Structure 1
Amino acid sequence: MTQTKKNITDEPKEVNPSGFDRRKFLMLSATGVASTLTGCAINQNTSNSSQLAEVTSIEPVVPDSVESQAMPEVGDLVNPANMPTETWQEPWVWRPERWRDSCLELNVVEFQNPGDSTSPGDQGASLFSYGGTSPGPTIRVKSDGTVRFRVRNHLDQNQQNTPVGPAPDPLELVPAVRNQVISLIKEQVPDRNTNLPDFFLPFLYPEQVNEVIPVKLLPGWNLGGHINGLHGAHTTNLHTHGLHVEPQRNKDGSHSDNLFLRIIPQADWEARKAIGNAELDPNEHVGELEYKIQLSFDRNGQQMPHPPGTHWYHPHSHGATHDQVASGMAGFLIIEGDVDEEINKVMTGDPSPDPELKTGRWDYRERLIFLQRVFVAASDLDAGPRRGQLRFPQFPAVNGLVKPRVIRMRPGAVERWRVLNGSVDGAGTKRFMVLKGQYTQKNGQMYRVETVKGEKEDSRRLIAVTDKDFEENKLDLHQLAIDGITRVVERDGKVRHEIKDLSRQNAGTTNPYITTPLPGESDATAKLRGFEAVFRDGDSLRRSFVRPNEVYMVNANRTDILFKAPLDSADQIFTIFAREAHIHADSMQEVLQRQVVRPESGGRRPLFDVVVAYIHVEGKPVEGGDFDIQSLNTYLPPVPPLLQPVRADELKVPQKEASITGAKPGQHRTRVISYSGTGGTDWPTIKVPEGFTEKWADQKNMLWGNHQGVDLLMPNLTRTMAINSEFDLSKNPDPGLPRKFAHNDPKRTRVLVNTAEEWALYNCSQMLWCHSDRKRFPQPGSYGAHYVSYPISRKEGQDRFAKDPEFIISTKGVDHPFHIHVNPMWVLRIDVPDENGDLHNILPEPVWMDTVPIPRHGGRVVFRTRFDDFAGQWVNHCHLLLHEDNGMMQMVDCQEEAEGVNYNGKQKVAEHGMNGSEVDAIYPKPSLELMYRQNLSFIDPNHIAYQEYPGFELKIPKLED
């Protein structure tokens, strides 16, 4: 990697009349500073509700250089060895069997002035919560039990005016229009906050934006149904994430896990009645609603208990999901069953001990770890006048607590940790581990706490650590479950549950991401070299994603971990740690490129790591001695029918079904779906075709704008996040445009109850590359961070950057966490593309999951699933919740009859052991050109806000040598 230093051309002056550097401001905003500023000046009828999301969507850099600072002080960092007692805390527990026929009351409240209200991981305020605390209460229920909720919506009226149909991103307006908006704001709002840069004013004062750009607006309290985009922050509902339960109504008519239900505020209903609208949508309820979640289910006349596992509940009201979950509205839902009883008996002698008490010869107990580190803050743009009063607290991270707590264990003690990654955004992917020693974070750098012996008293100091230090100081972990499902394996033709010894996965290998600077090489250049090495080939990918004694967790993943304090670890300190993963997105690579190009900037990207807790090992060893965790495998119960691996034979279409669906008898049920989309700040410069502006003259500055005499496509307010369910390229070489969510979309996925299918998922979100030096490479019409951008391979882009570092990443892709409701997935493959686009399976073996990352740049996931026991409607969606709110969600319609189902019949299906090219032959990969078009287009079929975007066929920009 060359270290040639070249300057990227700064933003043109007309775009930035205040002289404020736009990119630096976006970096600042992502650290939470700009989010704090927005809490001071939002007006009542705020309309552009997704702006904050996009402002904070680029990777941040903070101007701290560790090398230039003095060694930081330990300060008030807790010393676990001096703590007189354990300080670990968890939410309170509710057990339904103790309150038969009673409901858990979940009162949804807002904070007029949040102050230091706790919210797990939100860098903004705890705007919403269940009863004033976050997370919500933990539910522990038996596997044949029933959970009843009463959700009461105490929130005020949805006061924003919501854009529907074509609308631009107000932070990405062409310079002339932005200047016009800013001038109008200065004229009409004399008491505005003058300390803020002019660039940010269109976000703070949307009324003036809408005066200049007359988008169609509807009152948030009277939209008339679901739309895509952030809206309805004061409308709520409930989803039980991970449960195999009835998706709509139970047989007795009560409401089950129906995400289409909406509980609107009383004030919305009063406002509607005041204008003569006294009708509710069938899924709407005013003020409160009761849910009944029946865990046991009927299969062929026999009641089957739900498999035990670690799950959770959270709101799922489309348009408000991100803001409510990010603000702390979520809680554990633990199903207790046969697996727990068998483990408990071995460890304690009691099948049902108190899980929070140390019991038995090994001090066995459970701990719940609600892990969250929110990158994009929640925003209550429906709060009306009170929006301007909000204050912003510190960065909580675990179980609603700001600072890491202390756990005390004896040598040899064994604990079970139920870990939930409740993160909601692109920085949420984590690597969960336990480190030997005490670690902390200061000024964007991780440090190890070292005790220095003194003559009179000991002192402590901080020693900066590297990636290699983390790799070398991890302790052994054993994984019992993933996504609430006890691990299932097939050994010698037999299927059984098995605890995995994580010390053995890729043991003895090196992680190519970890690099040491070569002589004369900067730290940024070395890290960039390591990032590029990750994608060199399949072996590098597997050694990067799957590391010993780590669990790679995307948003919404859960894992159950068994941890033993080593028998010889008395008086030692350990750190439970969740490192932010970097290889799941292109953001870090782009940040490193900028640091290589402009080392004088001194920029540093802040860490989104989480120090979960400190463990102090003390006292005498446990009475049971050195317990062998792997010995528990002999006590685990049989695998239930629901969790048996999905065989290829189950996918085959019988004669009767084939005669109805049009498939051939003996073919396999398959389907291919793609996820795609790009945000506003990553939008490339795209010229509209001749005649387009005349045809859509009324859409000027909403769909298209003009800069430097060039007519340009405008970034859309709801982004281009969408799903294409017709992506089997062997059947549809031209699959049409991806579609945003509509509950009544005629092109929804339709499946047949009590059958199984194999799905292949593609991620068309891709990186684009650009010439960043506009003086050397003129790009008429380009402005701000928008460049003419090219869909080329990772290798070609990296090679060009190495030769001339002005050629950089302009548009970034991210792995989309795919989640499907009701039925878990038997995941066969997670195929990650290398630098040439060839796909490699990183899964060591198949695994049950309910949320799985689809790798970007044409990456692929293949899974099989059964649609057993329940007909009805549910969804699949991206668990980057802003993506879901903006339309990256799709209806799954599970039917009683075969007529109308729309799977594809195939003679051959994928297997775990195939190589990438063999799977390509079954499920053809998209080209770079097709991904480019998919990524920048969509249809929104919603009857309220219909759009076809952009309204013309995109041309692929050609990169010349």
Structure 2
Amino acid sequence: MEKTNAGHGMHPEHPHQHPHEHPRPHEHSGEVDVRLEVKYAINKIPSVLVDGQAQGIDTVRLRSYNGKLVGPTIEARPGDTLNILLDNQLPMTHAPGAGHEDMSQDINTTNLHVHGLHVSPAGNADNVMLELVPGQQLQYEIKIPRDHPAGTYWYHPHKHGSVAIQVSNGLSGALIIRGDIDEVPAIKAAREKIFVIQQIPYVINDQTKLGQVEPGDTVNGHNVFFPGNWENMKRRFTINGEVEPTLQLRPGEVQRWRFIHAGFRNNLQLKLVRRDPKTGAEEFLPQYLIALDGITTGSIDPLEAVELHPAYRADVLVRATDNQGKALPEGIYWLVDGTQDAQAESRKLARIVVKGPRVMMKLPTDKELAPLAPFKDVQDGEITGQQKAVFELRIDSEPAVGLINGKTFNHMDPPRKLLLGAVEEWEVSSPQHPGDTRYADEGHPFHIHLNPFQCTLKLKGVGGEKEKRVWKDTIFVESGQTMKLRTRYERYVGMFMVHCHILDHEDFGMMETMEIVLPGGMDMHMPDGGGGHGGHVH
């Protein structure tokens, strides 16, 4: 996997380095230069695995960043500027994206979203209103604030109507902001692995036997994204472009794992398990949660399973010790998806080999992590307003229609106005419609750009479920559930999006434009160009 460090530019992994390990940058210049070429590329994906060994290989032709199944890892620090040249080398298709009757809306038109970053949404920064048609390129300039939280973020296209098809081709990559949490001694000593988890629902062309996600295969058959179809296709989740990759832990070792759900629909419950050789019973190893959606939680929480919905991120520490703190014996463990049947081969996500000389490494303490939580709780007395978002999907038409508060997305509609400096409570719901077959009653992951929110999350802790107040940028709202989220509109004015992160739902219209404006109702109009500067109010 390629990666980009501040001051380094892009380069391949060190040839002697494990493909999942990511060393921290040693130099620092304040500028991160990246080139992302969006183009078709031929790659290979294992189709059948037995005990971790590929028994069949599919050759696939997919849209890609730089010709790979997963985009390069980008690393930066607070105060840096991301200079990302996005070069759309895809051909014109003259096929519109989901929900588009306007044939000028080519499905290969693209753009870039830095998911989770608190940066300007204007100009050439995190501006999802931009459109790069095939043959165009754009220099993004994204200035990261000096007080930006260190953590795990990601990037992907955000062109309405084309998001699901482009992300499901593999157009996504990790974006890591280095900072204070990386200097905690126990975390600094831990080897780090990044997991970009993708769903690629390719199809097989019978004439060429070439796996493809081509316009004709997808635009005219959006039901590939509907519930249950991922399982029926028998495709596998990939990690960094691999199916069931192998990782190694030494007995007693602590590693930091950064999980990124870059898939388009299905949720995951990540468990680390092994089968007892005597009883056959499945035992789990705890994963110690330290961050969610790039934001340090301020504590270390042992979990039995890590819940990942589309766009979620989670940073965990894994220690190869038993319940008594003794180093694990050598053997094979598995990272599995707990939502699937225990006997299903497809539940296996990665093979973990515990072997090598024993080491006894420490975990960080709550006392070390508490000062690193970047945001204070939102108090009742801070709330200055209320917002509501009701997510619904109508399926009585083809294609389906996504709704927020009863309306489908239209870029011509005026944005919902929010005031800079306001602190608001959002009521977000996924209502049920008993007996009404016009609607699909299912949950929806709510995502808001620009500013994170505070919410109460249920964690699958060791010993039982527990609730925790956390900061996130994406939260799954179950069918029939209403959640309350609190957020502060800070630093930036400009337009951005709220939407469902089941990406076909977003393309079908489950999205709304927001605009943060200056108090008093005065919009702030920024000059053209220099998007990294636009929309920033001191």
- The TM tier, using the shorter chain, reads 0.7 to 0.9
Q: Which residue of 1 aligns with 2:226?
A: none
Structure 2 vs 1, CA of residues 608 and 815 (structure 1 numbering), >3 Å: closer, same or farther? farther
Partner residue in 1 for 2:177: 335
**RMSD over aligned Cα, in angstroms?**
3.6
| Count of equivalent residues | 469
Matched, 1:677 2:409: no
Q: CA deviation at 1:564?
A: 0.5
Rounded Cα–Cα distance in structure 1 between residues aligned with 2:99 and 2:315: 43
Which residue of the other structure, out of 613, 617, 634, is the alignment partner of 2:354? 617
Using the alignment, how far apart are the partners of 2:366 and 2:191 within structure 1? 18
Unaligned segments of structure 2, at least 5 residues: 1-15, 48-56, 204-211, 222-232, 459-464, 524-538
Shift of 1:570: 2.2
CA apart distance, 1:159 = 2.0
Q: 1:476-503: CA deviations, max 9, x gaps?
A: 221001111111xxxxxxxxx111122x
Q: Secondary structure at the match of 1:673?
A: strand
Report the CA distance between 1:91 and its aligned residue: 8.8
2: distance between equivalents of 1:845 and 1:407? 30
Q: In structure 2, do the counterparts of structure 1 residues 607 and 289 end up closer, same or farther at CA, with 3 Å as the change threshold?
A: farther
Task: Return the match for 1:247 from 99, 114, 121.
Answer: 121
8 Å contact 1:817–1:852 — kept in the other structure? yes
State which of 26, 33, 39 in structure 2 corresponds to 1:109: 39
| Secondary structure, counterpart of 2:371 in structure 1 | coil
Structure-2 change in CA distance of 1:289 and 1:92 (3 Å): farther
Aligned to 2:242: 401
Query: Which residue does 1:632 correspond to in 2?
Result: 365
The match for 1:572 is 331
Task: Name the counterpart of 1:825.
Answer: 453
SS at match of 2:182: helix
Shift of 1:897: 2.4
Match of 1:89 among 9, 12, 19: 19
- Paired with 2:248 and 2:350, the residues of 1 have a C-alpha distance of 10
1:397 touches 1:612 (CA, 8 Å); kept in 2?
A: yes
Task: Tell me the equivalent position of 2:131.
Answer: 262
Match of 2:165 in 1: 323
Out of 511, 516, 520, the position equivalent to 1:894 is 516
For 2:411, the aligned partner's letter is H
Counterpart position of 1:558: 313
Residue 493 of structure 2, aligned match among 852, 855, 871: 871
Q: Which residue in 2 is equivalent to 1:649?
A: 381
CA distance, structure 2, for counterparts of residue 632 and residue 382 of structure 1? 53
Structure 1 residues 131-142: aligned runs within 5 Å: 131-142=66-77
Q: Are the aligned partners of 2:97 and 2:161 in contact in 1 as well (CA < 8 Å)?
A: no
Residue 424 of structure 1: how far off its partner (Å) = 0.4
Is the 8 Å Cα contact of residues 95 and 107 (structure 2) preserved in structure 1? no
Counterpart for residue 398 of structure 2: 717
Change (3 A) 1:118 1:102: farther
C-alpha separation between the residues in 2 aligned to 1:105 and 1:94?
A: 20
Counterpart position of 1:473 = 283
CA distance in 1: counterparts of 2:407 and 2:34, whole angstroms: 37
Q: Which residue of 1 aligns with 2:300?
A: 499
Deviation per CA, 1:124-158: give whole Å up to 9, x if none: 94520011102111011112222110000001113
Match of 1:158 among 93, 99, 106: 93
Answer yes or no: is 1:371 the counterpart of 2:205: no
Checking the alignment, whether the CA contact within 8 Å between 1:308 and 1:484 is kept in structure 2 is: yes
Identity of aligned residues (%): 28
Residue 233 (str. 1) matches residue 107 (str. 2): yes
Structure 2 residue corresponding to 1:429, chosen from 262, 267, 270: 267
Which whole-Å deviations, capped at 9, do the CAs of 1:331-375 have from their partners, x for residues lacking one? 000001011112xx3455xxxxxxxxxxx5xxx200011122346
CA change 1:577–1:760 in 2 (3 A) is: same
**Cα drift, residue 764 of structure 1:** 2.3
C-alpha spacing 1:744/1:645, structure 2 compared with 1 (3 Å):
farther
Question: Among 724, 746, 753, which residue is 2:420 paired with?
Answer: 753
8 Å Cα contact 1:314/1:330 also seen in 2: yes
- Cα distance per residue 1:432-473 (max 9 Å; x no partner): 110024xxxxxxxxxx9x79xxxxxxxxxxx9x8xxx5xx51
Aligned to 1:48: none
Match of 1:848 among 458, 462, 471: 471
Letter in 2 for 1:405: P
In 2, the alpha carbon distance for the partners of 1:860 and 1:753 equals 26
Is the 1:370–1:419 Cα contact (8 Å) retained in structure 2? yes
Map 1:454-469 onto structure 2 (within 5 A): none
Q: CA deviation at 1:822?
A: 0.6
Whole-angstrom CA distance in 1 between matches of 2:187 and 2:372: 21
Distance across 2 between alignment mates of 1:315 and 1:163: 15
Q: CA 1:399 to 1:158, structure 2 compared with 1: closer, same or farther past 3 Å? A: same
In structure 2, the CA distance between the partners of 1:96 and 1:242, relative to structure 1 (3 Å rule), is farther
Check whether the contact 1:118–1:133 (CA below 8 A) recurs between aligned residues: no
Cα pair 1:96 1:147 within 8 Å, conserved: no
Aligned mates of 1:880, 1:103 — CA distance in 2: 30
Look at both structures and tell me which one has the larger radius of gyration over its CA atoms: 1
Q: Residue 193 of structure 2 aligns to which amino acid in structure 1?
A: R
Query: Using the alignment, how far apart are the partners of 2:113 and 2:339 within structure 1?
Result: 27
Residue 84 (structure 2) aligned to one of 136, 149, 161: 149
Match of 1:473, SS state, is: strand
Structure 1 residues 481 and 323: CA distance shift in structure 2, 3 A: same
1:306 corresponds to which of 148, 173, 180: 148
**2-side partners of 1:234 and 1:606: how far apart?**
39
Deviation at 1:895, TM superposition (A): 0.8
When residues 886 and 376 of structure 1 are mapped into structure 2, their CA distance, relative to the original with a 3 A threshold, is farther
Please give the TM-score of this superposition, normalised by the length of structure 2. 0.78
- 1:95 is displaced (CA, Å) by 6.4
The structure richer in strand per residue is 2
Change (3 A) 1:316 1:151: same
Measure, in 2, the Cα distance between the counterparts of 1:618 and 1:860.
Answer: 46
Distance 1:670 1:393, change over 3 A: closer
- Please list the CA deviations of residues 550-577 of structure 1 after superposition, one character each: whole Å capped at 9, or x if unmatched: 1111111010010100134222221112
Alpha-carbon distance, 1:739 to partner:
0.8
Q: 1:128 to 1:91 in 2, by over 3 A?
A: farther
CA distance in 1, matches of 2:267, 2:67: 27
Per the normalisation by structure 1, the TM-score is 0.45
Segment of structure 1 superposing worse, 232-241 or 364-373: 364-373
1:37-56 → structure 2 map (5 Å cutoff): none
Q: State the partner residue of 2:251.
A: 411
Inter-CA distance 258–406: structure 2 relative to 1 (3 Å threshold):
same
1:459 maps to: none
* CA shift for structure 1 position 406: 2.2
Distance 1:635 1:93 in 2: 22
> Partners of 1:320 and 1:608 in 2: how far apart?
31
Secondary structure at the counterpart of residue 757 of structure 1: strand
- Superposed displacement of residue 845, structure 1: 2.4
**1:486-565 superposed matches below 5 A:** 486-487=296-297, 497-502=298-303, 549-565=304-320
Q: Greater share of helix residues, 1 or 2?
A: 1
Q: Give per-residue Cα distances to partners, 1:581-624, cap 9 Å, x unaligned.
A: 79xxxxxxxxxxxxxxxxxxxxxx996954232222223321xx
Q: Which residue pairs with 2:228 in the alignment?
A: none
